[in-house]
Amino acid sequence: MSVAGTYTCVTHTPMGDQTSTLTVNEPTGDSFTGVNTGMTGPIDVENGKVDGNTITWQMKMTVPMPMTLDCKATIEGDTLTGTVTAGMFGSFPMEGTRV
């Protein structure tokens, strides 16, 4: 099964659970594009890479402060599990389900 799809995600942060919708476009080779839409609006996926059923990507958020988020997730069937690393603030668990 392809990693491409739309996932309803929850990231567990010290500021509470953050919900978003992650869209992973069909990979081209070992790269993918997409967008993550949460309560602050859409953020483009940058540097999206695919290795089997594991994806890694970055997102440049601007609210509540400018920061690059480093993300990694494994997709098994319709389930996504991974982490979002927010620089000096640490890593937070993320989970999602394919819509």
Per-residue pLDDT of the chain (99 residues; tens, 9 = 90+): 799 999 999 999 998 999 999 999 999 999 999 999 998 899 999 999 999 999 999 999 988 889 999 999 999 999 999 999 999 999 999 999 999
Dihedral over alpha carbons 69, 55, 92, 36 (to 10 degrees): 60
Domains of the chain and any CATH numbers: 5-98 (2.40.128.120)
Beta bridge partners of 48: 32
Yes or no: say if 57 and 65 are a contact pair by the CB < 8 Å rule. Answer: no
State residue 64's pLDDT score: 82
State residue 63's pLDDT score: 82
CA neighbor of 78 nearest in space, from 60, 99, 57: 99
What predicted TM-score, i.e. pTM, was given to this entire model?
Answer: 0.94
